[in-house]
Amino acid sequence: MFIIEEYSTAVIFCIITMLCWGSWGNTQKLAGKTWRYELFYWDYVLGILILSLVFAFTLGSTGENGRGFIDDLIQADAKNLGSAFIGGIIFNAANILLSSAIAIAGMSVAFPVGIGIALVLGVLINYVGSQKGDSTLLFTGVAFITLAIIVNAIAYKRASSVGQKVSTKGLIVSVLAGVLMSFFYRFIASSMDLDNFKDPAAGLMTPYTAVVIFSLGIFLSNFIFNTILLRRPISGEPTNYAAYFKGSFSAHLVGIFGGLIWGVGNSFNLIAAGKAGAAVSYGLGQGATLVAALWGVFIWKEFKNAPKGVSGLIALMLILFLAGIISIILAGQ
């Protein structure tokens, strides 16, 4: 299977993760013009599952190092299979909330708050589980990102105080999504042998196998979580599966494409974790907050009617996020 040998390559993979995780939300924004996010989300989940299988039978099944996908799947312990599967369930619950927050409050709010909180808590959780990297630089980076979240909240409040349409519900849902999101990565990371992808310990999985099981957890739990949301949505009117099957080919394609984008980022991040460590890899990947904020502010113009001074706060938020990301990169060297 394909394995990363150099830290610099791991950083590149994490940056690709950052771009993917921070950009998939654009597909929801595009689909949202004619398509409920609950319906979009089914296609998104299918995209994630498809990508995991493609990578498992290509990158995960070629080369001399590690174990091929099928062999790895057969030897995996039930405990580790269950851990990756539970990670998928937790991620799905969190991501549905994040999708709701995007639909309610926009990308420039949902991502900095939700994923920012997930980054801070997730780095702490993953560092405790696998203490790899310079703790001082790592937590300095986390501190910068925490400040960026606070600055974003101030900008959000100022925008709402002068007539900018803002939903308190969107902010609350973003916070809930972030807290829940911080836990999923530890479950999938603990199912793998992060210290030795070349010759992984018996019972543990390679990242390619773990991602497939994780994706199955997302897909199967979606029959419960998304069915509930179809009937009792956080915002908007209830809908049903009949509406899903009436959707246009292009609408379905946009959702699947969004899942493929996120799936590439997820696989690249876990492949990089073997060299960079779970905390650093996760922290860099969740720098997606910065990417999503840029999309929301400059492409979707989500703060276009904001009062004077808010643009300066947005700029400060982006600088703090960038400083945090650089510190996290240095922590892994």
Q: What are 143-152's pLDDT values in tens digits? A: 998 898 788 7
* Mean pLDDT, rounded, of the chain: 88
Burial 289-324 (b: 16+ CB within 10 A, else e): bbbbbbbbbeeeebbeebeeebeebbebbbebbebb
**What are the residue ranges of helices labelled H in the chain?**
7-23, 25-31, 37-57, 69-75, 78-105, 107-110, 116-129, 135-160, 168-189, 207-231, 241-245, 249-276, 278-285, 288-294, 310-331
Q: What is the pLDDT of residue 162?
A: 56
Q: What percent of the chain has pLDDT over 90?
A: 53
Mean pLDDT of 9-31: 91
Mean pLDDT of 281-287: 85
Ranking 96-100, 125-129, 273-277, 289-293 by mean pLDDT, the lowest is: 289-293
Q: What is the pLDDT of residue 160?
A: 65
Could you give the 3-state DSSP secondary structure of residue 320?
helix
pLDDT of 150-191, one tens digit each? Answer: 887 788 777 765 555 556 788 888 899 999 999 999 999 999
**Can you give the pTM of this predicted structure?**
0.87
The CA angle 265-98-144, to the nearest 5 degrees, is 70
The CA angle 156-158-159, to the nearest 5 degrees, is 65
Residue 172, classified by CB atoms within 10 Å of its CB into exposed (0-12), middle (13-18) or buried (19+), is: middle
Mean pLDDT of 301-310: 76
pLDDT at 222 over 60: yes
